[in-house]
Structure 1
Amino acid sequence: MDIHDLPELVLVEILCRVPCGKFIFQCKCVCKRWLTLISAPYFIDRFLRLQSHRKTPTVRTLISRNAEELFNRVSLSEVLTPMLKRLESFDHLETEPVVVGTYNDLILCCDSLFDQHNYYICNPYTMQWVALPPTPTRCYDIVRVGFICDSPYYEEDDPNGHVIQLNAKFRCKVVRILPPDRQFVFDHDEYCFNFNVEIFSFETGKWSELVVSSPRGISYDYLDAMAFSYNGVLYWSGHDYGYFLVLGLDPFKDNSSTSTSSGSSNGGDIIDHKCRFVVFAMPVADHFVVECLGVCGGLLRMCDFDTDTKTLFVWDLKRQDHDYMVKGAGELCLSKHNVYSFDQDMYPDDARVVERLSFDPNNDDIFYLYVDADVLMCNIRTRKWSKIVEKRKLNNFYFFPFVLPWWPTPVPSLPQHAHQLAHGGETSS
């Protein structure tokens, strides 16, 4: 019997046993019947239930701004790099787009690192992408940008994985914190209590321009450009004299009444009291430079590495609850603080370049260092280390988490008027 003659229910059971979702998407190209079948909610639900029953592990990896995978675990660079080149050709960009944010398997990229005006969201495994309308403001600096969804595309409703809930109407937001205007500067160090923020919503297909207040004065230059999503909030790490800071923003509380789609707007003249920053501040010695290295074990992990003493300092933060409060912590509080001393022979004292890279997204105890073009893997518990990559040149040391879920996340769709704006057309308001 030919496979095309099989009853639909039998064909579903066969296709659902394809090893992973990215191969399933390739099966959509076989014929219209398979395309319709694989796109049906029943098929997706059945496939996810089988993965849950098998306890199929979720694969996580790390990618750089240049779309380079730190370790070739899912061959991401092999599909992402050609896709970015297609974007460059399709939209006639001057350079290949750079990665500026991720959420699970969705990637936010931009036409330039320093002049971020045109953004794209893509899924490299489904080869889907969408162009956002141009930002209202052109900024010739590295803006603080973040990308977040209010929920994953699917989730298990109970610990045993018996119920799979599809979130087909999940919402996505892109957030830009712009350099401060002079009117908000209150001293020569440019510490600000209010920031111009632009938030793009896929529901409206428009950028909202807001002025968002902070409970603490913050220097924009001391904020990291890279944001992390944690429990529905975007966080940027930063530092001040004697403190490390974490600036948080829930973009799903933005005030849509100040939205605009292009050009200038008066939205920046009014402080939005519904959308506010929260700030966590922890006192540290002045020589510390603490950065966020992502979410580990359900906690937001902050780190500093002393290259001279080969010592790693770790602060794990969690969402504030009623049992453990830290004064001034806002929505975050300290969960635990640990100090790890590494083997003094791990690298020579005269090493020219020593840079912290990241924790392993699949193992919270594994920490990676870049030493003179070599990548070292260190276990913070056992103190064992090994050189896993030799003589590899890295162009930057910032890596974004990338998750390959059981089923690929569809790229969110835009309203028709937003599609026209994204491709240089005009639309009536």
Structure 2
Amino acid sequence: MVSDDAGSSSIIVYNVINPITGKSVAPPPLRHSRRARIGFIYRFNDNGVNDHKKQQVSYRVMRIPEFKGKSTKFKVDIFSSDTGKWSKSVVLCPQGFWLGIFTFVGVSHNGLLFWWSLNEWLVGFDPYTSKCCRVFDKLVELEPSRVERLGACHGALRICQLLGYPYNFAHPKLRVWELKDYDKGGKWCLEHEVYFNQMVSKKSPWLTKYITNRILYVVVLAYLPYDRDIVYVKIQNKVVSCNMKRNLLEVACDIPLTHLFYNGCNVFNFVLPCWPTSIPSSPL
């Protein structure tokens, strides 16, 4: 999902892009909404067909326009690939939903789109029915500060929190929780707790020196979907791989200097499909 202002501050155009083929689809433009939250989810409509290649993909784009404070009822925009149109719906959430500052992108998991609420609930919506379907209790151990990143790893939802500078001038540390027992009400378990000043970088000595400072600004970008020990963070306009088990940091790539990525809020995970393992031919 990418967006463009279409030459006017009152109109915004979204594009659904397939990074593998490079093809894109542009839903009809919408009225611009400042700091709207966006989520993307898809399903396969098999229509009784067992051949995966012949199954049709149906997807939804859900946009939550910004509203202030906690609300039990709010409006959303939903684009359906089946109709090619946007529709407006009112979502009811009895527990209350409060838009988080750093949780812009909805996370697709188990057929729902999840967002973290500022009242410390994890809320799941179904864009196919416009309903609030799942709410998971808040973490008792969660510090009264922002949640940096909601995501998924190894088929489980995760949240993380950065503590320390600039909040209380202590060495920054990263905590990662994972949601266990999804089908039994959910239970948050602490998976990692690491201090950045205890990490090293074998290939980038400047990075080892930089992270020993208390004045350190880090943004969590994403979890590595197939490795529970690795997250990607943003440090000094670079994407850095952070191995929380080995206390190892390595630069993955540079980030283009653009204001649209300045804080890493609008990050979608994209996982390349596994290619079949080639079988060597027989020498005979």
- % same residue: 29
Is 1:403 the equivalent of 2:271?
yes
Offset, 1:318: 4.8
Q: How do residues 108-257 of structure 1 correspond to structure 2 at under 5 angstroms?
A: 108-112=1-5, 117-135=12-30, 138-151=31-44, 165-166=52-53, 168-180=55-67, 190-220=69-99, 222=101, 224-240=103-119, 244-254=120-130
1:316 is aligned to 178
In structure 2, C-alpha distance between the alignment counterparts of 1:315 and 1:152, rounded to whole Å: 33
2:189 is aligned to 336
RMSD of Structure 2 on Structure 1 (CA): 3.2
2:229 to 365, 387, 405: 365
Contact 1:224 1:237 in 2 (8 A): yes
In structure 1, C-alpha distance between the alignment counterparts of 2:124 and 2:180, rounded to whole Å: 12
Offset, 1:358: 2.5
Change (3 A) 1:170 1:222: same
Contact 1:351 1:372 in 2 (8 A): no
Offset, 1:365: 1.0
Offset, 1:250: 1.0
Higher strand share: 2
Offset, 1:223: 7.1
Offset, 1:200: 1.4
Q: How do residues 71-90 of structure 1 correspond to structure 2 at under 5 angstroms?
A: none
In structure 1, C-alpha distance between the alignment counterparts of 2:45 and 2:195, rounded to whole Å: 37
Stretches of structure 1 lacking an aligned partner (at least 5 in a row): 1-107, 154-162, 181-188, 255-274, 326-332, 408-429
Is 1:386 the equivalent of 2:249?
yes
In structure 2, C-alpha distance between the alignment counterparts of 1:239 and 1:197, rounded to whole Å: 18
Offset, 1:132: 1.2
Change (3 A) 1:312 1:345: closer
TM-score, normalising length from structure 2?
0.73
Offset, 1:120: 1.9
In structure 2, C-alpha distance between the alignment counterparts of 1:351 and 1:152, rounded to whole Å: 51
2:160 to 303, 313, 318: 303
Contact 1:179 1:196 in 2 (8 A): no
The number of equivalent residue pairs is 248
In structure 2, C-alpha distance between the alignment counterparts of 1:146 and 1:368, rounded to whole Å: 20
Contact 1:238 1:290 in 2 (8 A): no
Offset, 1:215: 1.8
Larger Rg: 1
In structure 2, C-alpha distance between the alignment counterparts of 1:344 and 1:223, rounded to whole Å: 24
Stretches of structure 2 lacking an aligned partner (at least 5 in a row): 165-169, 200-210, 276-284
SS in 1 for 2:128: helix
Q: Deviations over 1:215-267 (max 9, x none)?
A: 21233365722111011111112323xxx22221011224xxxxxxxxxxxxx
In structure 2, C-alpha distance between the alignment counterparts of 1:179 and 1:374, rounded to whole Å: 29
Offset, 1:195: 0.8
Offset, 1:277: 4.8
In structure 1, C-alpha distance between the alignment counterparts of 2:160 and 2:110, rounded to whole Å: 20
What amino acid does structure 1 have at the position aligned with 2:137? Answer: A
1:348 is aligned to 212
Work out which structure has the larger RCO, using CA pairs closer than 8 Å and 6 or more positions apart in sequence.
Answer: 1
Contact 1:110 1:118 in 2 (8 A): yes
TM-score, normalising length from structure 1?
0.51
In structure 2, C-alpha distance between the alignment counterparts of 1:319 and 1:151, rounded to whole Å: 26
Contact 2:241 2:252 in 1 (8 A): no
In structure 1, C-alpha distance between the alignment counterparts of 2:98 and 2:249, rounded to whole Å: 39
